[in-house]
């Protein structure tokens, strides 16, 4: 099959990491898979032989957005894919629109956020609801039970297209020396270092991590990521007099994420909204003891199949994060138990299982199968919501 994956922006984010793994897995299974970005945001995909860009930079206003969508239509007409996989709110809308205009037989979208009622996200939710009810796309993938439950009040015509496929999460290949990893990212060799990763955005709540530094003298914090909150985080660190212990290392490409995680003594995640939490699962799988905000979805995905928590769950504020980290640092057995549980998640979220589940969806659509096959674990599952 010829498969096109549609992403909104080219950057080192969680959704992009999923499509990277999917593309690699589908190509290994004999399919032709490429990823097209509506626009290039950073240089992380420059030179990638399987990536294309519609626009060379973020669109400027409605005219630029229309250009991106029309460019995607032209791209698909030339590529003539058998199936389209789309990601993120704008990617789902643009990908479905272009795929429909070009007569693509199988269209699969991914829900990267819970439904919203207000603002631009509320508008996007309304459009997604209409597309699902009208059957403009064929399958609607959610990546956790929690996410699927958020659509419980949507019409039955929408819900019948929901399928759950847990994200695949890569595991480190080999091991990294901690001192070498710290040197590679410009981090102090002898310090106690807490790591975090993710887009620097208000929803990721990295401000709580910076504020926690003021409650933990001598501890350093290193955050991998880029985004609009960078200036605010630095300003907060100055106000709290912790600027010398905060390290913003910038965007880390997927190929180096486990090298970065090897540099830490613990990992903290204070995000206030997630549908899966790929970054924190990566940290747990790497073996770092994790302190995470007590979101229901994180409690779900950071629990092993035998019921062991792979994180210490706390209130996602400065006091909660600092208290959880101090508890880990003062109790090596507790930290070791969390590390052990985190490593068990490797099999639970094996990328191979995710790729096989998506392939089953795509083949079912391509062959015109009426019922999507239902298999256990990360395979396609109809959700009763």
The span from the CA of 253 to the CA of 192, in Å, is 24
Cβ atoms of residues 92 and 128 within 8 Å: yes
Provide the token pair at 334: 């507790």
Q: pLDDT at position 279, please?
A: 96
3-state secondary structure of 51: strand
Provide the token pair at 74: 């032209």
Q: Which domains does the chain have, with CATH numbers?
A: 2-168+350-366 (3.40.50.2000), 178-348 (3.40.50.2000)
Q: pLDDT at position 373, please?
A: 38
Cβ atoms of residues 278 and 218 within 8 Å: no
- Stated as kind and residue range, the H or E segment containing 183 is helix 178-184
For helices 61-79 and 89-101, angle between their N-to-C axes, nearest 10 degrees: 50
Q: pLDDT at position 381, please?
A: 54
Provide the token pair at 16: 């992009």
Name which of 49, 44, 50, 34 is nearest 9 in CA terms. 44
Quick one: DSSP state of residue 32? E
Provide the token pair at 154: 């949507």
Provide the token pair at 214: 């003021």
Q: Tens digit of pLDDT per residue, the chain (385 long)?
A: 999 999 999 998 889 999 999 999 999 999 999 999 999 999 999 999 999 999 999 999 999 999 999 999 999 999 999 999 999 999 999 999 999 999 999 999 999 888 999 999 999 999 999 999 999 999 999 999 999 999 999 999 999 999 999 999 999 988 999 999 999 999 999 999 999 999 999 999 999 999 999 999 999 999 999 999 999 999 999 999 999 999 999 999 989 999 999 999 999 999 999 999 999 999 999 999 999 999 999 999 999 999 999 999 999 999 999 999 999 999 999 999 999 999 999 999 999 999 999 999 999 876 555 444 333 344 445 454 4
In the block, residue with structure tokens 């939490």:
277
Cβ atoms of residues 54 and 77 within 8 Å: no
The span from the CA of 252 to the CA of 94, in Å, is 27
Q: pLDDT at position 164, please?
A: 96
Provide the token pair at 376: 């256990």
The distance between the two most distant Cα atoms of the chain, rounded to a whole number of Å, is 62
Name which of 161, 110, 108, 169 is nearest 301 in CA terms. 169
The span from the CA of 213 to the CA of 94, in Å, is 42
Provide the token pair at 296: 């229901």
The span from the CA of 99 to the CA of 136, in Å, is 9
Q: pLDDT at position 130, please?
A: 97
Provide the token pair at 188: 């102090």
Provide the token pair at 350: 């094996």
Quick one: DSSP state of residue 131? H
The burial class, CB within 10 Å (0-12 / 13-18 / 19+), for 118 is exposed
275-305: string of b/e by CB count within 10 Å (b at 16+)?
A: bbbbbbbbbbbbbbbbbbbebebbeebbbbe
The span from the CA of 125 to the CA of 117, in Å, is 7
Q: pLDDT at position 93, please?
A: 96
Residue count (the chain)? 385
For the entire predicted model, the pTM comes to: 0.89
The span from the CA of 360 to the CA of 355, in Å, is 9
Q: pLDDT at position 186, please?
A: 98
In the block, residue with structure tokens 């062959």:
367
């Amino acid at each position: 099959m010829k498969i096109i994956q549609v992403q909104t922006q080219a950057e080192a984010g969680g959704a992009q990491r999923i499509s990277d793994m999917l593309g690699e897995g589908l190509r290994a299974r004999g399919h032709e898979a490429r990823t097209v970005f509506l626009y290039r945001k950073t240089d992380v995909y420059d030179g990638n032989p399987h990536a294309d860009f519609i626009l060379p930079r973020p669109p400027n206003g409605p005219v630029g957005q229309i250009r991106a969508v029309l460019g995607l239509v032209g791209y698909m007409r030339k590529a003539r894919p058998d199936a389209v996989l789309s990601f993120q709110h704008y990617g789902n809308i643009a990908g479905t629109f272009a795929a429909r205009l070009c007569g693509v037989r199988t269209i699969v979208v991914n829900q990267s956020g819970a439904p919203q009622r207000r603002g631009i996200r509320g508008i996007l939710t309304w459009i997604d609801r209409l597309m699902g009810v009208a059957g403009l796309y064929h399958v609607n993938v959610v990546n956790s039970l929690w996410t699927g439950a958020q659509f419980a009040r949507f019409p039955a015509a929408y819900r019948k297209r929901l399928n759950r496929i847990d994200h695949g999460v890569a595991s480190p290949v080999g091991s990294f020396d901690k001192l070498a990893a710290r040197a590679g990212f410009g981090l102090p060799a002898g310090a106690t270092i807490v790591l975090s990763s993710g887009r620097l955005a208000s929803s990721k709540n990295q401000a709580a991590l910076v504020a926690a530094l003021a409650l933990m003298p001598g501890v350093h914090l290193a955050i991998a990521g880029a985004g609009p909150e960078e200036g605010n985080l630095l300003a907060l660190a100055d106000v709290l007099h912790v600027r010398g212990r905060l390290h913003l290392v910038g965007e880390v490409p997927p190929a180096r994420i486990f090298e970065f995680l090897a540099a830490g003594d613990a990992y903290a995640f204070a995000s206030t909204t997630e549908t899966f939490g790929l970054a924190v699962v990566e940290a747990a799988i790497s073996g770092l003891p994790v302190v995470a905000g007590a979101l229901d979805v994180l409690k779900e995905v950071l629990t092993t199949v035998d019921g062991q928590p792979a994180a210490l769950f706390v209130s996602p504020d400065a006091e909660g994060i600092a208290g959880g980290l101090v508890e880990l640092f003062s109790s090596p057995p507790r930290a070791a138990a969390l590390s052990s549980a985190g490593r068990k998640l490797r099999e639970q979220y094996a990328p191979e299982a995710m790729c096989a589940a998506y392939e089953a969806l795509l083949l079912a659509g391509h062959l015109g199968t009426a019922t999507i096959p239902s298999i256990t674990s990360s395979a396609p599952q109809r959700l009763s919501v």
